[in-house]
A and B are shown apart, each in its own frame.
Chain A
Amino acid sequence: MPASTIDHVVALTVFLAAILLFIGLFNQTIQTAVLYQQHRHLATVCSDLLDNIMLNPGYPLNWGKTNSTPTSFGLQDPEFTQYRLSPYSLMRLQSLTGIPFTYPRTGETYSNMSMGFGNFLFVPYTKAINYSIAAQLLGTTNTYGFNLTITPIVTVSVEETRAASPLRLVVHVAGPGFPLSNAEVSYCFVKVVPKGPQKIPSYSSLFNTTYTDYTGSAVINIANVVANDAYVLIAYAHMSGLVGIGYHERAIGTARTQYVLPLIDSFADRRVLLVHSYNVHDFGPPNAAVFFNATFVLLTTDFTLREMPMEGESTGKLGKVVYGQGTEKTYQNLTIPTYNPGILVISYHADNDDGIVVMPWGISSMAFPVTFGTTASNPEWVVTDIRQVLVNGVAYQAKLSLWSLQGYGVTS
């Protein structure tokens, strides 16, 4: 073999090896750059989409106060500008986290936004906006997946440190890991007053104001409360423009199985169904009727709580609900007297059970968090962006998580 041929073979082999090596190297650089661009683009889309949702009330403008499906999706409060969200539009979002249930008497399935026993919010699927509708209206179907969480900035927790004579409650007010000292706390205390077996209970209410100390805590002593009194305390804390809400209730009874559940029936008519707990949770054999007495509490502009009278029995404020299907009512209609956000407070009495359940009318009145959207299925990259927003004066933080569903390598 002549030397020139060997030279050619060696040169060609080295050349091909070098070319392959460099293609690999350049490819890595280009891939990194493309990936960076994709992620950066996703971050921009996330910020834009969050603004789209927060700065647009949707159409019809007051869709949160109707039962209809909007033709344009947005959560801004139509009565305000900037980042102020409608407490009613938020209430109509189908919760991602709560376990839904079906109420057999109406056949409706309800989205569950409740925050534990006694703090209920159930919205029928037929009146709630689900993720696919929102994605379609926002134009993200099959292109992006998202998850929107709206959580209160200020946490107000209430702890019972003494059960009676006097009842002692400690209210803790904090931001994310930072106590709010010297915050004004306005509270409403409602106590059930049973009137005897098979009778509609009465209630007594107390409204007052106090301040937190340097640890962000305020002690509230309430006289004339005995250990077997059922009550609820609703506390609003505010300082330097930040408003937060907390609540605590004590139910009396061995099993806490007989109580009233409020289910929203119509946003347009402000109608709520009050149903027997046994109709929702199959606790076992049928049980006694539950007698109830409802009232409505508003947060006024001066941050004090006020009771708003409900108009006699025509609104369904007094009554009873039973488990069976006889001639007696298994659920009762109640009409909320206003579109101002507030809290529906329902005192109930059944055999050995006394208690109070509360339901926010307008998500902000009890600072319920909202989680809406879908869960990411193994995405390659999720971006988030946050905004500080106000919902009827209550400070929330809105966080949007977004991921891409299109393109190459969108899952890890």
Chain B
Amino acid sequence: MMRTIEILLVIVIITGAFIIASLFAVLPSPRQVSPLNLKTLALTTLQTLDGDYNLSMTVFKANNDPAWAQLQIALSACLPPNMIYNLTVYEVQGGAQLYTAIKSFSNAENLGVSSQAASYLVASSNVTFEVIPEKIGEQGSGGTLYILNCGDANGWWITGYTAQSLAQDLHKLLSPYFKNTIMVQDTAQLGQMLNNQSLQGETVQNAVVINTFGECVPIPMDYCDGYARANEGYNSSASATYPYTRYSYTLGQMTRQYNWTWVSIVGYPFYYVSNKGVFGSQTNGYGICGMKMVNQGGINAFLQGLDNQPYHYNTTSVAGKAGLVSLSSKVADLCNYYGIYPSPNQTSTRALSTSILSYNLTVALKVFDQVGSLNPGAVYNHVFRNSVDITGSFLALGLTRTPDIRLTALGLLSYYNPRIYASDYTGNGTSRLVVFQLGQAGGA
């Protein structure tokens, strides 16, 4: 009998467990199982109604204007019949109270058991918003932005992008801030630049050169083995395995000579060189044709050239893994100023060591906070000892692939800090906020 009683006790315990579990396992309401995305529906409805700026015009009209009734008809006409809504328009103004409700209407007494809302900021047609950026180089020399867009070279560590697509994005982001923006379309044009020849009447001196090819740098044919200036791009006596390290040295020299700001957008700088015409089917070791490896010596050779030291092959690694890194406070603040919002946290596996400062470099801007002795992203200025003049700069973002090109743009803008003259969006009477709330009628 004792065993039966024990079993009955067990049944009581399991029944208790089931009841308690059932209390927590509450079935959701039917509308939660397969929900309509009301928030997006609300936003797309407002966007549709503002397709020809009709909504923008209506919300600035007087409260008794017939346009409000038309808006109400249009809302009822374009929503599914089971939708209930509330539309409220707020005046955006300065002062302590930012929003003041000025008009509200609805097609039901309440919005049911649940609702979602979307907001939409509209500008008065009487106000023109303008953002006028200051042009870099406007007040002094320089002001040229070169974006390497060479069609006859391949990129590396720009996984998911092509150098050309990155170049297009950079052009959109940065061209308003520079006097001249030049897309360098092939390695021959790059050769002209290196030879101090203007491509479109721009100033070569004090320019910014963005290498969109990631860890790889396009190399003009002239600088390759067997061509006219091979001695400036190829040196097999210093390193038979990586003879094109010499080209990085030349780039360093040119950066100093023309006071360029050389920009490396991702990864280990100067790790490969590429020219599809010259290297043809030769690969970088990972299946990318038209590319030759330079290895770790590339950055050292560049810095030697930048510091006007004699060229010698040096394979010492100057980069390390910094892991998760954060935007420096200065750059994070400037996100708002320039309206560029990359993720504030990034992963860095090719951060440059502070040991490179021995090449007469100073850190002019930390894009990311320093991690130990590693700078995951920084702008370096080269200044000779006992001099105050900057002779070349270098922006290196030692992040892991895939590159976020907005970081490059933000880094450059934070360094040059061009002013922008913007209209005041919160001036009285210039903007109104439309909040559109949707719910579903009927059901649980």
Contact = CB atoms under 8 A, between A and B. Distances in A.
Interface of A: 3-4, 7-8, 10-12, 14-15, 18, 22, 25-26, 29, 32-33, 36, 39-40, 42-43, 47, 51, 82-84, 153-154, 174-178, 180-182, 239-243, 301, 381, 383-390, 393, 395, 397
Contact of A239 (B4, B11, B70): B70
A16 B8 CA distance: 12
A276 B98 CA distance: 66
A177 B78 CA distance: 10
Contact of A22 (B14, B48, B58): B14
B14 A240 contact: no
Contacts of A12: 3, 7
A181 B74 CA distance: 9
A240 B25 contact: no
Given A25-B18, A29-B22, A182 B70 contact: yes
A76 to B, nearest CB: 13
A393 B67 CA distance: 19
B49 interface: yes
Contacts of A82: 44, 47
Contacts of B33: 36, 39-40, 43
| Most chain A CB inside 10 Å of its own CB: which residue of B27, B52, B77 | B77
B84 to A, nearest CB: 14
Interface stretch (B34-42, B86-94, B148-156, B294-302): B34-42
Contacts of A18: 7, 10-11, 14
A177 B107 CA distance: 15
Contacts, number: 141
Given A11-B7, A14-B7, A26-B18, A178 B47 contact: no
B47 A36 contact: no
Given A18-B14, A386-B36, A388-B78, A395 B48 contact: yes
Contact of A240 (B27, B54, B79): B54
A86 to B, nearest CB: 15
Contacts of B310: none
Interface of B: 1-4, 6-8, 10-11, 14-15, 18, 21-22, 25, 27-28, 32-37, 40-41, 44-45, 47-52, 54-55, 58, 66-67, 70-71, 73-74, 76-81
A14 B47 contact: no
| Chain A residues touching B, majority SS | mixed
A29 B21 contact: yes
B78 A242 contact: yes
Contact of A7 (B2, B41, B71): B2
B7 A241 contact: no
A43 B33 CA distance: 8
Given A239-B74, A389-B44, 13 more contacts: A40-B32, A154-B77, A175-B77, A176-B79, A176-B80, A181-B73, A240-B49, A240-B55, A240-B58, A240-B70, A241-B50, A241-B52, A395-B78
A154 B76 CA distance: 11
A134 B37 CA distance: 23
Nearest to A83: B44
Given A240-B67, A385-B36, A178 B73 contact: yes
A7 B4 contact: yes
B50 A15 contact: no
Contacts of A22: 14-15, 18
B27 to A, nearest CB: 7
A159 to B, nearest CB: 20
Contacts of A182: 66, 70, 73
A239 B57 CA distance: 13
A29 B25 contact: yes
A10 B4 CA distance: 7
Contacts of A395: 48, 51, 78
A47 B34 CA distance: 11
A82 B48 CA distance: 10
A205 B74 CA distance: 31
